[in-house]
Copies of this chain bind each other. A is one copy, B any other.
Amino acid sequence: MNFTERLRDVQRNRTSLLCVGLDTDRGKLPASLRAYEDPIFEFNRRIIEATHDLVCAYKINLAFYEVTGEHGWRTVHRTLSVIPKEIVTIGDAKRGDIGNSSAMYAQALAQDYGFTASTVNPYMGFDSVEPFLARPEQGAFILAVTSNPGARDFQYAKIDGRPLYERVIKKARAWNRSKNIGLVVGATRPKEMHTIRQMVPDMPILIPGIGAQGGDLKAAVRYGCDRNGELGIINASRSVIFSSSGDDFAEAARAAAVKLRDEINQYRDTYF
């Protein structure tokens, strides 16, 4: 089963397009977790326990783990080990290097950690992305239009009248022989999302930028999904996991995730 089918399956089985981003900032953990040997893991474990029936995916932003130094690797590993197997796991690493180096990153993310999918930066072109495509059942989300202000610096540069990100998408489409490529398109870009979904009717789109970044949820669902109201993956990180800073953080995260999943599903009912 290729990655696209796998994603579709889990979204149907769970009636959810929600992805919870485990951007677990160690500076924001409740004080009561400090006693644990690995507070970040303990936080993640409880968030996963409280939300796993509500999501199609978890996204782990590696930046938040690398910054913890020596124990980051183990924390990621332990976190992945408590996520039910059916759920898609996205290693949000935004890697990309020359072929032989990218092969090492792909091995670290897809084989050693065992993420179902990774995010990849397209700037260095095909041989930097290729190692992430080796297994049809594992996916690569290529950065197209990102949610941050800096996206304007290069992604919108006009090539023959069309923005650079459209060239990235056209290449991604051409490289997608195993149906395991997806795109990253920020929820802060609703108009672009509309055009992009028309360019790639059957490709998964990972949509960050809801919540703290102020993205447009309705447009993300309406334009980010395929014709069946699927294959859009709506990510929320801070707005879910740090919904409460107290000891009720897991219950609060669950409440925020239920609310978001249901809101997404209402928009799906409206538009599909």
Please give the residue numbers on chain A whose beta carbons come within 8 Å of chain B beta carbons, in ascending order.
23, 61, 63-64, 66-67, 69-70, 72-74, 77, 94-99, 101-102, 104-105, 107-108, 112, 121-129, 143, 146-155, 157-160, 164, 167-168, 171, 213
Cβ of B168 and Cβ of A154 under 8 Å apart?
yes
Cβ of A157 and Cβ of B164 under 8 Å apart?
yes
One complex includes copies of this chain to the number of 2
CB-nearest residue of chain B relative to A73?
Answer: B70
Contact of A155 among B97, B99, B123, B127 (CB under 8 A): B123
Cβ of B151 and Cβ of A104 under 8 Å apart?
no
In the complex where A73-B72, A154-B122 touch, is A101 in contact with B149 (Cβ < 8 A)?
no
Cβ of B97 and Cβ of A125 under 8 Å apart?
no
Cβ of B151 and Cβ of A125 under 8 Å apart?
yes
Q: Which 5 A-B pairs have the closest CB atoms?
A: A125-B150, A125-B153, A63-B104, A98-B148, A67-B104
Cβ of A101 and Cβ of B64 under 8 Å apart?
yes
Contacts A124-B148, A125-B148, A154-B168 aside, 7 further interface pairs with beta carbons under 8 A come to A73-B73, A98-B213, A123-B155, A124-B151, A124-B155, A154-B171, A158-B159
Tell me, in angstroms, the Cα distance from A167 to B124 when the chains sit together. 15
Q: In the complex, which residues of chain B have a beta carbon less than 8 angstroms from the beta carbon of A97?
A: 61, 63, 94
A/B interface sample: 24 pairs, CB < 8 A: A61-B101, A63-B97, A63-B104, A63-B105, A63-B108, A67-B104, A67-B105, A67-B107, A70-B77, A72-B73, A94-B96, A94-B121, A94-B124, A98-B147, A121-B123, A122-B153, A122-B154, A123-B155, A126-B153, A127-B149, A128-B148, A128-B150, A154-B168, A157-B157
Tell me, in angstroms, the Cα distance from A125 to B70 when the chains sit together. 29
In the complex where A23-B101, A96-B94 touch, is A124 in contact with B107 (Cβ < 8 A)?
no
Cβ of B64 and Cβ of A104 under 8 Å apart?
yes
Q: In the complex, which residues of chain B have a beta carbon less than 8 angstroms from the beta carbon of A23?
A: 101
Cβ of B124 and Cβ of A152 under 8 Å apart?
no
Cβ of A74 and Cβ of B70 under 8 Å apart?
yes
Cβ of B149 and Cβ of A167 under 8 Å apart?
no
Q: In the complex, which residues of chain B have a beta carbon less than 8 angstroms from the beta carbon of A126?
A: 149-150, 153
Cβ of B148 and Cβ of A112 under 8 Å apart?
no
Cβ of B67 and Cβ of A112 under 8 Å apart?
yes
A64, A121, A126, most chain B CB atoms within 10 A: A121
A95, A99, A155, most chain B CB atoms within 10 A: A95
Min CB gap A66→B, angstroms: 4
